[in-house]
Each structure stands twice: as structure tokens, then as C-alpha cells.
Amino acid sequence: MKAGRIRPRTALARIVTGAAVALSLVACSSNGDSHPQTASSQQAPQSYSRDPYPSTYHAYPGVPTLVTNVTIFDGEGGRIDGGSVLFAGGKIVAVGQSVDAPAGATVIDGSGKVLTPGIIDVHSHLGDYPSPSVQALSDGNEATDPVTPDVWAEHSVWPQDPGFSRALANGGVTTLQILPGSANLFGGRSVVVKNVYARTVQGMKFPGAPYGLKMACGENPKRVYGSQHRKPSTRMGNIAVDRQTWAKAQAYDRKWTKYEQDGGDMPDRDIAMDTLRGVLHGDILVQNHCYRADEMAVVMDMAKEFGYHVTAFHHAVEAYKIADLLKANDTCAVVWADWYGFKMEAYDAIEENLPLLEKNGACASIHSDDENGIQRLNQEVAKTLAAGRRAGIDISDATAWKWLTYNPAKILGIADRTGSLRPGKMADVVLWNGDPFSVYTRPEKVWIDGALMYDMDDPSRRPVSDFELGQPGAGDVK
């Protein structure tokens, strides 16, 4: 058959087919669907992974352990003298005046000693600024742009940093949050880790702990970028860049939320906006470096404007001035004991900051921000506790222990799993060989998830390192 000729039956078939298609389109329209279905809209919406680098942490093996005749600070303000704590299977099993030992359990006499939850440092740069401190290992600040929520602290963490073992053996630190630095307004994601020996950071990651977003206000961002004649160079510039960035994040969230609900063409990914979208949905916790009271107040107002929540202000040396605002906004203050005057925004720091916050019902916590300070956070709390008592603020030792464990756990979104000695929680436990608020006291034993990770009386359980840090003590045994 020559080209151009059409058989009658073929022509009729095409007419019938065309009519059927037309009728089907009319039917779609009559059902209220005026938009033709495309191949992309017929597919189920595909989202992105919220956790592309998941924890591979597995607890070290432990044995059922009962500590008896010991003073207990439970981490939530409670105290038991001459009490007992039993843990097994990685969990706290029982806490009380008298607890029976199951068959085969290790029993430890805690007479004259104190048992507490493991210390949690919510502000550390271990692994990102490891020892030895050299430029080649300085990986905590991506100081190339004031807005870098796309960077993740965990991608710089060096698990072999000997600072981890010093924090464990000298400081009784069982959990810590590693954050990016404070050069940028949006510094990037933080990561929460268990203080265990692992080959990879994923082997240390606290299972299920929320990510944090490090933000910064005040002197640091305006100094870093103002010196480059870039925005921001003022505090008002800081807030302007913050607000514009959150506005972009809201627009990004709207696109992705619509796509996830309705389908259609997948929006372009923006790794930085993914982090901010996580904040807007409450999945990522804002950890905000901020010193001055007035700036903290502005940031809390900005959070309301854009629909997110500030979990905690870090380095909050003027938090005592706005304890009522912090309480009303359910925002914690994370502070030092007595770091003062090293820059202008630190001039109004006072030693009574933590006790004043506690007295006024605000959530408060100690932190280190330092590879040496993390080894004696218990002594930092002792200093501010003593300052408060001199000022007439009478806070018990057991209540003050909240600043080291339970409140930090709350700040990290893990208070349902660790931070206090409650049945069912992780057995992150420290046995101190005396009053933990004395400079003469050291951790005697440290358990993480019920596994004995450090024992000052057992050289085989002391950390071994290739680095001599000039810090004599149990951590230097080889």
C-alpha cells in the first residue's frame, strides 16, 4: 500500500479511539479534576533521607552490677544516703535504700563514695578541634560565609582525639554534643555522641538523638565578616541576615511540604535549607551562641516570627537578667562558672548566674567549650554553687547535679533516655571516690550503657593513647 492511503477500517478505529479519549477527559472534568494527570504526578512523592549518616553505635558488653552503701545523686535533684543502684542489660534496673543483688551480679561497696549519672557536656568541640592543636586539624569553623547550615560537625570529627579519653577518665563525661564554631550566624549541624572508643564518628553517635543547629549572635559573626567588609558587620546586620535566611527556609518548606502532600515535580534539593526545614518542623534543635540579655530577647522574638523554638542559649553570661523570659519561652541557658571579661560581651558575667537561674525557675546547665574544662565540669559547678551560697542562694548538692546531667539531657532532647538514675534509662553512671564537688575527688569507675569503660584501679581499663598531652594522670598510662 502506498504512503498516504488509509484503509476504511483503520480510519474508523481511529475515530472510535479518539471519541473514547475525549469521553474519558470529559469524565475526569466532571469528577472535579480539571488537570490532566502527568507521569510525574501519578508517582508517589519521594522525599529525602532525614538521617543519611545513621548511628552504628553498639554498647560495649557489661555485666549486672550492684553498687551498695553509696550516696546517690539521682540527677533530678534527689538524694539517697546509704542507698543502692542496680543496673543490667545496659539499663538502670532499681534505685533505692536497699536493692537485692541478682545471682552472678558484681557487687561494689560504695561506702564513703558518691554515685551519679554520667556528666553530659552540651558544648564541646572535641574531634573538630582535636589535640594536638595544629592548623591541619582545625576543622570546626567553615568561616567562608555567614550562612552555612549545610555543614555538619560530625564530618570533621576525628574519633582518635585523645581529649575524649581525658573527658571520660578525668571528668566522668559519658555523653557530649560536638558543635561547629561560632564564626557564622548559621554554623551548621551539631552531633550528640556517646563517649566511647570507636573507629568512626557514626560508631559514637547517640542513637536517635536529635541533631542540633548551631547559631551565633553578637560579636563573633560581625567581627569575622565585618573585617572583610561584608555583611553582617553590625548586630542589626546579624538579625537582618538571620531573618532573610529564615524567610527563604519557610519558602523552601512550603515547596517541599506541598510536593510531599500532593506530588508533582520534585523541588530542587538545597542541603542548607534541609537543615532549616528540620528546625521549622521541630526535628532539629537550635543551640544558639549568645552572650547579652538584649540579644537573647531579640532572638526569641525572631523565633516566634518564623515559627521555630530556641532550645538553649550557650555562653549566656547575662542570662540571669532575663530568667523570667527564658522560663516563659521554655529556653535553657548554658553557662560557665566564671569565664569573664575576655571580650566586651562577656563583661557582665557573674559567678552566681546558675544559682540565680535555678532560683527563678529557669532551665540552666554548665558547659565547657574547652578541652581542659570538660575534664572538671563538676568543679565548675562547685564554684558557682559556692558563689550562690555566699549570696544567700541555698541550693543543695543534689539539686546542683541537675546542671551536669538532667538539664543537659533535656537540652539535647535525650532526657527520656539518660541524664538521671531512673529505672529503664541508660546505665550511664559514675562512681566518685569522694565528694564530687571537691577538687580532690576523681571518677573511680565510669560505666556507659552498663559497660565499665574506665576503672582507676584497673590499668587494663585505662585509656591508651599515642599522644602525650602533658596532663599527668590515669589517662596517660600506656
How do 364-366 and 332-335 pair as beta strands? Answer: parallel
Instruction: State how far the Cα of 337 lies from the Cα of 190, in Å rounded to an integer.
Output: 23
The residues, ordered by sequence, that sit 6+ positions from 309 with a Cβ below 8 Å of its Cβ are 282, 286, 303, 329, 330, 331
Handedness of CA 384, 95, 458, 162 (dihedral sign): negative
Phi-psi bin for 263: left (phi > 0), alpha (psi -120 to 50), beta?
left
What domains lie within the chain, and their CATH numbers? Answer: 114-476 (3.20.20.140)
450: helix, strand or coil: coil
| Residue owning grid cell 563525661 | 173
* Global confidence as pTM: 0.89
Phi, psi of 7 (to 5 degrees): -70, 145
114: helix, strand or coil: strand
pLDDT of residue 462: 77
pLDDT of residue 449: 99
pLDDT of residue 471: 54
pLDDT of residue 470: 60
Q: Tell me, rounded to whole angstroms, the distance of Cα 158 from its chain centroid.
A: 18
Residue segments in the chain with a per-residue pLDDT below the cut of 50: 1-41, 472-478
pLDDT digits (tens, 9 = 90+) for 67-106: 999 999 999 999 999 999 999 999 999 999 999 999 999 9
* Contact between 365 and 335 (Cβ < 8 Å): yes
Instruction: State how far the Cα of 289 lies from the Cα of 130, in Å rounded to an integer.
Output: 21
Rg, C-alpha atoms of the chain: 28
pLDDT of residue 215: 99
| Residue owning grid cell 599527668 | 472
Running DSSP on this structure, what letter comes out for residue 45?
Answer: P
pLDDT of residue 136: 87
pLDDT of residue 46: 83
Instruction: State how far the Cα of 140 lies from the Cα of 403, in Å rounded to an integer.
Output: 26
* Contact between 459 and 128 (Cβ < 8 Å): no
Q: How far is CA 322 from CA 31, 329, 331, 357, in A?
A: 58, 11, 11, 9
| Nearest in space to 314 (alpha carbons), one of 333, 292, 338 | 333
29: helix, strand or coil: helix
Q: Which helix (H) or strand (E) holds 71?
A: strand 65-73
| Nearest in space to 346 (alpha carbons), one of 471, 104, 182, 150 | 182
Within 31-125, residue ranges assigned H as helices are 39-42
Instruction: State how far the Cα of 225 lies from the Cα of 221, in Å rounded to an integer.
Output: 6
What are the beta bridge partners of residue 401? none
pLDDT digits (tens, 9 = 90+) for 230-273: 999 999 999 999 999 999 999 999 999 999 999 999 999 999 99
Long-range residue pairs from 344-347, CB within 8 A, at least 24 positions apart, any chain? 344/219, 345/218, 345/219, 345/291, 345/292, 345/317, 346/291, 346/315, 346/317
Reading the block at residue 175, the C-alpha cell is 555523653
Torsion angle of the four alpha carbons 316, 322, 323, 327, in this order, in degrees rounded to the nearest 10 = -100
Phi, psi of 426 (to 5 degrees): -60, 140
